[in-house]
Structure 1
Amino acid sequence: MARTIAQIKTEITTAFTADETVAARYGFTKGVAFEDTFSKVSLESILFFVVAAAMWTLESLFDIHKKEVAELLDTKKPHRLKWYRDKALAFQLGRSLEPDTDTYAELVDSERVVRYASAVEYQGRLYIKLAKGSGDKQPLSGAEQTAVTAYFSEIKDAGVVLEVVNEPADHMRLSMDIYYDPMVFAPSGLRLDTGEDAVRNAIKSYLQNLPFNGEYRNSALVDRLQALDGVVIPELREALTVSDADYQAATGAKPWTGIQAKSLPVSGYYKIYEESNLVLAFKAYQTIESV
């Protein structure tokens, strides 16, 4: 961004008065303020203003050129995944795009529907995963999804096969043995001092606060529980997941898939829908003493 004429002139005059040779020739103290020595109509002041104005003009022309080149690249270069993610977050419900652009006349935060988004490319197709809500992620309504789909049809690069993924959270089922300090936890799993169901809350918090479309890791969950006061050994016995679409489509047994070390959610986020899907066996930890 171009500096102002005043900024440029100040830099010139500061260097001018800081020069020992110049100070000796003019008879002023080195480093003195330029305005304290030269009037605004002096030859030096006018000369420096003309130079500063010329430099400002050149910098402004470079800014214009940079903007024109950036706009040209936007029309010629295919966009990256981050661009699609950012555009999803910028979607405004109930507003039309500016003619022949991919932007709005103004951005109104209250009209932003998509609060979570991720762009994923898989087998030649671009998937835009979306969710709304604050903290508690939820799928968009049917009308909202229709509007977002039309929006991306308008702004996407030509030839890109794009699909909007707007689904409820993937189901998660966990089974764990929690070895606890009996001075901190009761056999029920509640803390003795506050009555809080700390382990269960920590597990739900971990899943809820994963980055949208972020990778779930068994080891990270264990580490999260290991940090809880009073939890000695959190042992993960089983971790299962299934997309909501497959869960709802199953007429008999649910098609749970075991998680081996890590997993990515189809919808972009996980949720434990039923308390029965979070099986915690609390076991008092006994130290093996040795002498």
Structure 2
Amino acid sequence: VISDEKALAFKSYIERIQATGDNIVVVNFLPDILLLKYRICFDPLLLHPDGMSILTAEYPVKIAIENFLKNLPFNGELSVEALENVIQEVNGVRDLQKLEVSSQWIEPGTGYGLFQPVEISRIPKSGRFKIEDWSGIEYINYQPAE
């Protein structure tokens, strides 16, 4: 997000240089908020119950999700299946259960709306996603029933 003065100057510049007939829309919103709720089955030899790596003292699931969000396509489209594949590839993750994937975005003049479920994929209104609350990711040492 850039200041209103810079946004106005940028919009004016774009209007001057755009080709006749082109319609360019400049979006200068705060990021859409992504809410993730997953139950992650972890390997206790590799991860602590809070998701921290025993070897590196980092949070590999969080890092993988952040990298995934940074590398979304140009339009920012988030695929739930692709996100889950990235999580399952993390060393120490045995399995996962999706509980909820939702997002909310800013409506001009009213602020953020309510969280809306993301079924298969979503293109963010602002062009990008941000996770503010990581508490929806729960780590469990799951043992299958016999």
| TM-score class normalised by the smaller sequence | 0.7 to 0.9
Residues 1:155 and 1:247: Cα distance change in structure 2 (over 3 Å): closer
The percentage of counterpart residues that share the same residue type is 29
TM-score (normalizing by structure 2): 0.86
Amino acid at match of 1:266: K
TM-score (normalizing by structure 1): 0.46
Instruction: Report if the CA contact (8 A) 1:247-1:255 is conserved.
Output: no
Report what 1:235 is aligned to: 97
SS at match of 2:26: strand
Report what 1:175 is aligned to: 37
Of residues 28, 31, 35, the one that matches 1:166 is: 28
Amino acid at match of 2:117: G
Residues 1:229 and 1:248: Cα distance change in structure 2 (over 3 Å): farther
SS at match of 2:103: strand
Work out which structure has the larger RCO, using CA pairs closer than 8 Å and 6 or more positions apart in sequence: 2
Report what 1:265 is aligned to: 124
1:224 to partner: Cα distance: 0.4
Residues 1:284 and 1:246: Cα distance change in structure 2 (over 3 Å): farther
SS at match of 2:107: helix
SS at match of 2:96: strand
Report what 2:53 is aligned to: 191
List runs of 5+ in structure 1 lacking aligned partners: 1-138
Higher helix share: 1
1:147 to partner: Cα distance: 1.4
Instruction: Report if the CA contact (8 A) 2:36-2:134 is conserved.
Output: no
Higher strand share: 2
Amino acid at match of 2:62: R
For residues 193 and 208 of structure 1, what CA distance do their matches in structure 2 show?
25
SS at match of 1:163: coil
For residues 247 and 184 of structure 1, what CA distance do their matches in structure 2 show?
47
For residues 248 and 201 of structure 1, what CA distance do their matches in structure 2 show?
32
Q: Please tell me the root mean square deviation across aligned C-alpha atoms, in Å.
A: 2.3
Rg comparison, structure with higher value: 1
1:285 to partner: Cα distance: 3.2
Instruction: Report if the CA contact (8 A) 1:208-1:271 is conserved.
Output: no
1:226 to partner: Cα distance: 1.1
List runs of 5+ in structure 2 lacking aligned partners: none
How many residue pairs match? The answer is: 146
1:156 to partner: Cα distance: 2.5
